[in-house]
Structure 1
Amino acid sequence: MATQPQQNDAMPTAAPGDTVVPDGDVCAANMLECAPGNGAYPVSFNLAWHGGAHLMAPPDGNQPAYVRAIADGKVVYLRKTGPNGKPTLHYRNVRTDDGCVVIRHDTEIGEGDSAKITYYSVYLHLQTMQPTLAIGKKIYRKDVLGTPGQIYGQYPQIHFEIVCNEANLKKIIGRAPGPVGAQGRTDAVYGDNWFFVPRGAKLFASEPHPFRDDDSAPAIGSIHPQPSLVTGGTSRDIVICMRYEKDCTLTTYVQDTDGNWSVLGAMPPEREAEYNLYKRATELNARFSDNCVAGLSAGSVAPSPSALFELLRFGRCIGERPAADIRLNHWRKVKTPDGDGWINLSKPNVRVYSDADFPEWAGWSFINDDPTPDSLCDSPTVKRWLDLDRSGHVSHAEAVQALNVEAIRQRMAHAICKFPTEWSKAGLEARYNWLKSPHEALTNPLSDADFNRLMDHARDFAFWEDVQDADFPPANECWHFPPTAFIRQFRQCRWLSADELEQAYPNTYVQNSGGQLHQAANTLSSAMREKYRIVLNRLMEKHSITRNTMRMSHFLGQGAEESRTLAWMDERRSEASCNSFYANRNGNDLPGDGYKFRGRGMKQLTGKFNYAEYWVYRGWLKRHEFTPSWWNHPHPTRPNIATPDVLLTVPYNTVDAGTWYWEATPNHGLPHSVSSMNRYADFGISSLQIQFVTTQINGGQYGLENRRYHTQRLYKLFGDS
C-alpha cells in the first residue's frame, strides 16, 4: 500500500506513456506498470518500501480488461470489496477499493525437488470479484478473478505483487540469495546462456579446429598453431551472453568500477543459427574425420552430433554425458576489451549458467540489507543507487530524479527484495511511525490526527494474518519479486509440471475424425505421463521447442496423433503388415526390415534409413561404417542396428528420436539449411500451416483433422489468447 502522497509526489492518473515496460510483448499489452511516484516497485519518492506495482488495466472494447490469474494455482485468501459508503476507504476524500485475492502457485521449473517451487500472487484493489471464487478453489492461468478498481481515485488500477518465503526463493534462483555460484544449476535450464570467462583467455584470429582445445599448442596432423592475439591472454574478466532466437547473438559484458556489469558490445548475429543447429553439429562432427586429423584416430574421440548440438545450444552437455576422453571444444568468436577473436568456452575455468540462475549480469540483485523493521527503505544498497551526487544523503528531490533515470529504473525492476509486508495488521503503527518525524525524503511529517486516519485506512486493507497457508511467508520475512520482470523471466521457462502435462495430454483421448469429436480408446495414465515427462521437458528445451508456444503446440499437437498422447510408442501393425507395407521403402532392403524398423518413438521413427541417421546422430554408428544408399548398391555394407527396441525400452531414446526427427524431418535425416520444424512452426497456427507441418512430419496428410484439432487446442492452452 502506498503511503500518504507527499508534497511534490503528486499521483495523477497513469497514462500509457507513463508505463515502464517496453512494447512488443504480453507484459506491455497487459501489465501497464505505473510510473515512479505512482505506485511503482520497490520504493516511492519518499523512500517507503512498496512490495508490488500498481497496474493500469488496458482497454478491452469499451471496458477495462478483466483481472486474470497469472498462472495455475489455488485461492488461499479472498476479500470482497467494501461498500461505497465505508469512510476508511475514502482516505483523503478519494475512494480506494479493497477487494483482494491471493493465489498459491505450486509448479516446477526443472527436474527434482529443488526445482519444485511455491510462490504467491496478490491482486488488491479489485472493484468486483468473480462470483465463483472461493478459498481452496483451483484456478487456471488466464481465469478471470474480477475487475480492476480505484487506487486513491485512479481507475482502473490494481496493486499486484509476487512473494515467497526464503526456502522457495532458494529453489527459484538455485542458491542462497547473492552472487552466482561456481557453476550454473543443471536441474533447471532455460532462457539465455551465460559464460563467465576469467582474464587470461587465449584469443585467436581464425576459428580453430574442433579437435583442438588450444590452437597455440604444437602442430598436430596438418593443423598448424596460430598465436594468441593477446600476449598473456585477455586483460579482463568478461561475461558472454548467448541468445538463440532464430538467430544467435553473442553479447559481451564487462564490470564497471561500481561493480555493475554493462555491455561492451555484440558480434553480428549469426543468421538463422537456431534453425541450423543440427546442420552445424553435424558439420563439426564430420571435421573429426577430415584430412586435417587423418591418422590421429580423431574419430575415436569425436563427440556425437547429439552432444555437439547440446554444446552449441547450452554451452555444456546436460542430458548427454560424453565419455571423459571425448574432445568437446566450444569455439566462439566474441568481443573482448582486447579485440574480437575466437575463445574456447569449454575451458575448465569458464563457468556456464542460464537465465535460471538469475545471474547478476542479467541485472538481478538481492536486497536484504535494510536493518530496520519499519516500512522506510534504509537499505544501503538502494540508497547508494539513488544517491546521484554521492553525498551520502538522498533527498526527496534526488529520489524523484533518480527514480526517473532509466538505468536506475532497470536496477529497481530486477531487484528481489526482503522487507516487511505492508499488509500486516501486526505492528502497523510501529511500521509507519517514521511518517511522524522529519526525514531526508519526507519534508512534511504527519500530525497525530493525520497519522491515526492513515492507520484506520491501512487496517482496512491489511490481510496478511488472515491467509492460512503453511508456505505463506511471515510478514517480516517476506521476499518480494519485481512483478513484470518475474513474469518475463518465467515466460522463458515452459517446463511442464505433472498437472500441466495432464492438461495437454489428458487420460481421455479426444479424436477429431470426419469433422466430429469423439472419445477414443486410450491407455494413458499418470504413471505413463510421468515415465516420459522429465525427458520430454529436457528435450523440448534442448531443441528450442519451448522458445515459444507455437512450437510447443505444433510439436505436441503432432505428437498427439503420432503417439496418441504418449500412449502408443510403437506402431500398431502386425509383423506381416509391416513387412508388406514397408518393404523396399526408407532403406528397408532385406526380408523382415519392415517390422524390424517399424514406427517407434514419439514421432514413430520408421525405416532403416531413418534409424541409421538417428544412430549416427547419437554416436552409436559412424557414417563411414556403412555404404551410402546401400539399397541401390550391389555389394553394400549395411548399417549395423542390432537393437532397434532401445527406442522403446529407454524413455530418453523414445522421446529423443521424436525431437531428432523434428530437427531432421525437412530433409529426411540429412543436414542442410532447412533442417528444423521450428522454422515452419514460427509461421503460426493457421490450418494451412498445420497442414504443411503435417506433410513434413507424416510424408502425407494422414490424421490431418486430428492433428489440426490438437495443435489448435494446445495453442489455446499454452498461448495468451
Structure 2
Amino acid sequence: MANMTRPSNPPSTPVKLLAFAYPFRKNAQGTDGPPADFIDEHEFHQLLRREPSGAYAVSGKGMWHGGIHVTEAGAGASLDLKGGVRCIADGEVVAWRVDRIYPVSEIPARNGQPAISASYSTGFALVRHSMEFPKDRELTFYSLYAHLQDFADYENDAHLPRPKYWATRFEVTTYAQDRPTIGSGCQSAPADQRGLRVRVSKPHGKVLCILPHGSQVSVGKREGNWGQIIDASGVSPYPGIAGGVAHPAVDGWMFLGEEHGGPVVKEVMPDSSLDRVVVLSRPSEVVPVKAGELIGHLGRYDSLSQQTSGQRMVHIEVFCDDSVKAFIDAGRAWIRQNGAHVSAWQQLVLPNEPTIQRIDSGTALYRQHDEEGAQAQQTGVIEVFPLAALATGSSDRQYIETVAGSDGEKRHWWKIDSADVRHQPIDGWVREQSFAGGTVTREFAQKWVDFQPLDDEHEPTHTMFATTNGFVDYSIGADVPDAGSLGKLSPLMTSIYQALNLAGDRAQAADDLRNASSGPWTALRMSRLIIQHESEWANPEKWKELIAAIEQRTGPKPEHIEEQKRIEKLVWWDAVKAGLTDFPASNVFHIHPIGLVGNFFRSGFRFTSAMLLRLFPSGNKEALQEVADELNAHLEAYELDTPLRRSHFFAQVMQETGSSLTREEGFFWRASSLIGSFSYFRHRPAEANAHGYHQTKPIKADGTTMSQSDFEAIANGAYGGRAELGNGDYASGDGWRYRGRGLKQLTGRANYRSFTRWHATLQQEWPHEVIDFEANPDLLVQPKYAARSAAYFWVDHKLADEADKGNTAVQVNSITAIVNLHTDSYEERVANFNKIWEMGEFN
C-alpha cells in the first residue's frame, strides 16, 4: 500500500442537512403527465387561500388554529391527492392512530331540517424530526398529520399505497418456496417444509430459519424489499438446514418482494392496531420516514351543520418546545460570524451558497433591469423567494449582467411581483445583491429569514379574544361597542395583528385577522410567525367551557353535544406524553408547515453531463448523460444523496475508468508484467510471452500485433480459477466472460451473480427490468448498467457510511482499501477527491 497522503482539507465536523418536502405534489399537467413537485412556497400559499376555515393561527370562525387544512374541494383540487399526504422532512414516526371505519356523528331531524349523519376521522400520524445547526446545536420538532383515511377505505382500494408505519403483520404466502438445505448425511427436509427464509443480514446472510406458509410476523426497519422482524410470536419455524435447529426469527431479515410469480408476503392489519393511539416508545419501534414519503391520504370530516356527501381533508401542523428560540438565535449568530466564509461551510460539510432572495420593504422596483425609470414604485411588504424558483422563471423575468456592477460581480436581476404599502399589486426589477434601489439580499435558510417567535398570553378556550364572553359577543353579533376591535383581542392576537402590519381599521381587527390568509403578503408574513399556544389536541375540558359560554346566550344545540363527543375522541396528547418521556407539555410553539418547508426546502440535487464532463474530459457526452440520468433516477437508493457521498464515489470512479470513462477492462499487458503479477503466467512464462507485448505496445515478441485471442487468453489466465471471484478454470472462459466492466470494473462470476441478486431486491426501483447479469455480463458496458453496477458495489459494501465520516485522506484511503486494497493509486484517489470537493460541483 502506498503511503497515506496528508489531507489538504482540515478535518470536517459534518452537520447533516435535513431534507424537506412539500406535503403534496401538484396535479399532473395534462392527462398523461406525472405529478410535479413544488419549488416555490408562494404557489402553495396561493392554494391555501381556498381554505379560509382552516388557516394557520386564526380560523375563519375566529378561533386559534395551530396548523393548516387541505380539503378535497379546496386546495386539494389542484394537488395530487392519489399520491397522498407526504412527510415534510426526514424523521421517524413515533405515534399514530387509524380508524377501522370512520366514527359517525348523528344529529336528529329538527325544525323541518333533515337528520345529519356526519362521518369524521380520528386517524393521525406524528413524526419526530431533529435539525442540527450549527454543530452540536439541535432542535427537535414534530409534524402532525390528522384526519387521515380509515382502514376500510384502503381495503376498498387495493391499488392505494399504504403507510409503512402501520403495525401491520406480514403473512407468508404460497409464492414463498424456500426449503431447508440438505443436512449432514445428505438428510432432506420433508416436502411440505416450504416457506420464506429469514437471514442474519440482507441479502445473503446466514439463514436463521424458514417461516412456514401462513406465518404472521411484525417488521420494524425496512430497507428496499427487505424487513427486519421484531415479533414472531406464535410462529413455529422450520430449520434452515434439514435436521438442524430453527433459530429465532426476531432481528432477522425477510424478503418482502415477489418470487415465483407473486408476492411472498401479504400485509394484514391486526385488530389490536386499530382504533387506538399507538405510541412507538422504544428506539427499535420507531419507523424512519424520509421527506416526501407517504404518510396517509385525506380522511372524512363531514360538517355538523349540514348534510354533506363526504368532505375529505387533512390537518397538518408543526410544533416544538421553547428551545426553538435559542436554536434560531444560535443559527443567526453563526451566520453573522461565518456565513461569508466558504471554509466555515466546508468545515460543516454544508452547501455554501444562499438559497433565499429577500427584498425588504421600501425597495424601489426598477422599470427595467439596471434602469430605475421615473417615479419607481416602492415595496410596502417584505418578500422572500426561493432562488431556485426565480431561476426557473421565463427569460423575460430574469437577466444576468454582461458587465460587472459596482461590487465587481456579474449579478442576476429578477422581475418580481410585490405590493405597495396599501397591499396593492406592483412589479418591477431588482438586482439580487448590492442593489441601489433598496435592501435586497441573498440569505441562508439557517438564518430562519424573518421568522419571529411570539409567546404572549392567550385566552384559555382558544378564541382570539381576551375573554370567552368577548368571543361570544363577536360570534353572535351582540349589540356591544367595538365587539371586534383590537382592544378586545388577547395579548397574543394583538401581537399577531401588529406583526402582520395590517393596515385596516383597528375597530375591525378581528375581521382582519380572520381574513389575513386571503392576502398573499399577509399570508406569507403569517407563515413566519412561530406562536406559542396550548395544543388543540390536549385538554378537552376547554371546549366544554366554550360551549357552555355560547349556550348561555343561544340555548343548547345538538351539534354542540356531537362536537364535544368528537373532540373527546380526537385528542391524543396525554396518550402520547405517557409513552414518550421527552414529549413536550402541551403549551408548545407552532410553526407554519409551508413556511418551514419554504424556508428550508432545497430543490433536489441532479447530476448533469456538464458536471461529469469536467471530471471525464475525454468522455462521450451521450454516455455521460446516460450515467447522469441513471444516478439521478435513484439517488437515494444508491446512497448518493449528500455532497460528501457523491464526491467520494466519483473519486473512486475517476481512478477506475480514467478521463474517458472507460467501462470495460483492457488487456494490453506487457509479458513481463503478466509473469510478475499473476500466478498462472508465473508458472507458464511461455504463454505470457505468447500473448503479452514485448517492448512496445501492442507488438509481441514474435513481431505480430496483439489480437482478440490474446486479450481473452490474458483474461482467462489472470482471472481463471480464482475462487474469490467464483470463476471456473482457464478452460471455462470465465476470466474473459466476467472481466472488469462498469464504472467500478466489476470482476468475477460471483460478483456478477451478487449484483443480480441485489438488483432483484430493489425491483421497485426498476419494475420492468428483471435482469440476470451473470447470464448477460456485457450489459455492464452500457452506461446505465455501468453506473448501476458501481452503485451496487457502493451500497453493498456500505461505503456511504465511510464517506459520511469526513472529507480527509483518511476517509478516502479507507474507501480505496475496500474498492481495491492492493492498488498503488491511493495518492491519486485522494487527489481526485480533493479536486471534486474543492470544485463544489456536487453540493
Greater RCO (Cα-Cα under 8 Å, separation 6 or more): 2
TM-score range for the pair, normalised by the shorter chain length: 0.3 to 0.5
Larger Rg: 2
Q: TM-score, normalised on structure 1?
A: 0.46
